Amino acid sequence: MTSYQDKQRGEDPVERFTSSDSQESCLPTERARNIPSFIVMDVLERAHELERQGRNIIHLEIGEPDFPTPKVICQGAVDAIQKGYTHYTHSLGLLELREALCEHYFQKYNVRIDPDRIIITSGTSPALFMVFSALLNKGDEIIISDPHYPCYPNFAEFLKAVPVFINVYEEEGFQFRPEEVKKRIGPRTKAIIINSPSNPTGNLLAQDRMERLASLRPFIISDEIYHGLVYQEREHSILEFTDRAFVLNGFSKAYAMTGWRLGYVIAPPDFIRPLQKIQQNFFISAGSVSQWAGLTAIKKASDDVKRMKAVYNERRKYMIKRLRELGFGLAVEPAGAFYMLANAKHLCKSSYELAFEILEKAGVGVSPGIDFGRNAEGYLRFSYANSLENIKEGLARIEAFLKNR
């Protein structure tokens, strides 16, 4: 998928490389040339171009908290700097932080974890890369839902593993059907990746489905980054049901700490030393100041999280109501994260073209469903990580756009 700018010029960056007279040895690697773009970033970058031209753009495309990092967390970072805690940490991460995470998982999920099973990482994206690197050999298969977070298959293919996509459906809240997953498990299947609450759908995986997936042979990789942002039922960690699992989590979403780049992996004991060596070679350790800030977040920022969560929930309720009024389909109300994947098949065949049409004509950024898999074509992802005032304005603009279209 090319960028918006390349589409407008009728150019493809890969074609520009491969049609060159240069020798193959002078080109970037095939894996670097062929990795797909993250389309939501194409939308965002075009939105920024329009803003530089003087347009006012409402951003409903980006999945980043609009809140500042709570002051108590920032003060924890300041205290760490003043104390001189600005050097490398242990490659597994600060012991104090890992112990606090163990306490958190026991209190919230009644799961006991040894701190030596946790590796603190520079965000959940490096954590995902590390887990895939430790688990997937060339040709191994990983089962991924469609729709899905776009980076999952990109990471797998970058490492020469094979994504196996299984369609999930709007009327079931885009949840895996365990019986369908079981049918697709083969001799090379190493893992099933789940994401609950989900990006892009905002839906949760039901407890019974999670239990049934956990009973299958492959490892479960559970992306739990949106835990803490659930508005109705309680979220579950995969560790409640199996130890044959890798948990990815972090501080970016619930604590509004995206720029701090702080995440972690909880892994089976046999994988800790290999993961640690990957960390040592590729990343050394997560940032020391960010880790101390994370420790403060766990111990002192629960009230801030509750406040932010209440505001997100108010926005969520409003957006569900308005999207349905505008004719978009939401068969199941999204109950977590800050996204909803709305059915727009009555408006278009190409969600990519529709998203850019809305951006250009209505001044509202939304994410095209095709970014999240072929089964998400015809959908648009809306983010409510923006003020209620901006959400109201953005949806009013879309209403006017639809009336005049």
For the chain, give the percent of residues with pLDDT over 90: 89
**Residue 390 within any structural domain of the chain:** yes
Given a cut of 90, whether residue 3 has pLDDT beyond it is: no
What are the C-alpha distances in Å from 338 to residues 148, 206, 250, 303, 306?
15, 18, 16, 19, 14
pLDDT band at 23; cut points 50, 70, 90: low
How many CA atoms are closer than 13 Å to the CA of 333, on its beta-carbon side? 14
**What pLDDT shows up at residue 367?**
97
Instruction: Give yes or no: residues 229 and 244 share one domain.
Output: yes
Residue 162's CATH number? 3.40.640.10
Instruction: Give yes or no: residues 273 and 295 share one domain.
Output: yes
pLDDT band at 20; cut points 50, 70, 90: very low
Given a cut of 60, whether residue 263 has pLDDT beyond it is: yes
Contact call for residues 211 and 196 (beta carbons, < 8 A):
no
Of 271, 300, 329, the one marking the end of a domain is 300
Contact call for residues 268 and 235 (beta carbons, < 8 A):
no
Domain count, the chain: 2
**What pLDDT shows up at residue 317?**
98
pLDDT band at 221; cut points 50, 70, 90: very high
Of 300, 317, 348, the one marking the end of a domain is 300
Structural domain including 382 reads 35-64+304-404
How many CA atoms are closer than 13 Å to the CA of 332, on its beta-carbon side? 18
**What pLDDT shows up at residue 24?**
62
Instruction: Give yes or no: residues 193 and 312 share one domain.
Output: no
Instruction: Give yes or no: residues 187 and 292 share one domain.
Output: yes
Short-list 257, 265, 249, 237, CA closest to 297 = 257
Short-list 81, 132, 64, 70, CA closest to 289 = 81
Instruction: Give yes or no: residues 357 and 280 share one domain.
Output: no
**What pLDDT shows up at residue 104?**
97
Instruction: Give yes or no: residues 281 and 357 share one domain.
Output: no
pTM of this prediction exceeds 0.75: yes
Separate counts of helices (H) and strands (E) for the chain: 15, 12
